[in-house]
Amino acid sequence: MMARYFDVHPDNPQARALGQVATILRDGGLIAYPTDSGYALGCMLGNRAGLDRIRALRQLDARHNFTLVCSDFAQLGHYVQMGNDVFRAIKAATPGGSTFILQATREAPRVMLQPKRRTVGVRIPDHVTALALLNELGEPLMSSTLLLPGHDEPMSDGWTVNDEIGHALDAVLDSGDCGTEPTTVIDLTGDEVEIIRRGSGDPELFEG
């Protein structure tokens, strides 16, 4: 079974296509979608089978921090705990190319939490199609960068995604434009800020 391929306009993605992708997600599907930092794999909150499929595709272990990709700051704040300083810094840095690892709240899906630390990654992409899909869904996506084993960069072309791993997905959403550099990953759970991966986001706000 091959993924359904949806080609949408980069500045004004067609509502009908987004609605169809949202239905696939609500029915338990796994999709690939474009962001400002390459393609991501995504499934609905609590979709354990979807996360298992992402782990298999990317050959991830249990220590991997999955990311809740949110549509706005208010939504993000629902799932993670933030003190005032962190709150202000993240607000200033979003939307954009950074993923923040924080302690999860009770609302965060247990299936995606780091088992020992109860942490979760969160981000708000700066990408028209990704945000339009999130707004259509009305809730975040459990996601992971589409970085295949042995590759240094995330996949960034919808046709290639469909061609290479379409057999393992339910839908590919393509709007042509896509970032190529993965997010900067910033761990804010300890006493010291830890930059886990340097990428497209500027960590300057957190390095003080």
Interval 105-150: pLDDT, tens: 999 988 888 778 889 999 999 999 999 999 999 999 999 999 999 9
Could you check whether the bond before residue 95 is cis, i.e. omega within 30 degrees of 0?
yes
Tokens coding 85: 């300083």
Please give the pLDDT value at position 195: 95
Give the model confidence (pLDDT) of 173-190 as tens digits. 999 978 888 899 999 998
Phi, psi of 34 (to 5 degrees): -80, 145
Query: Distance (Å, rounded) from C-alpha 68 to C-alpha 192?
Result: 23
Instruction: List the structure tokens of 176.
Output: 């042509």
Average model confidence (pLDDT) for the chain? 93
**pLDDT value for 208:** 66
User: In terms of Cα–Cα distance, which of 37, 10, 44, 68 is closest to 171?
Assistant: 44
CATH fold for domain 4-206: DHBP synthase (3.90.870)
What are the boundaries of each domain within the chain?
4-206
Q: Which residues pair with 171 in a beta bridge?
A: 4, 31
- Degrees (nearest 5) of the Cα angle 27, 28, 33? 100
Q: Are 181 and 153 in contact (CB under 8 A)?
A: yes
Between CA 95 and CA 70 the distance in angstroms is 10
Q: State the distance between the two ends of the chain, measured CA to CA, in whole angstroms.
A: 50
Q: How many angstroms separate the CA atoms of 120 and 130, rounded? A: 20
pLDDT digits (tens, 9 = 90+) for 50-79: 999 999 999 998 778 889 999 999 999 999
Q: Which residues of 147-184 are buried (b: 16+ CB within 10 A; e: fewer)?
A: beeeeeebbbbbeebbeebbebbbbbbbbeebbebbbb
Distance CA 142, CA 33 (A): 12
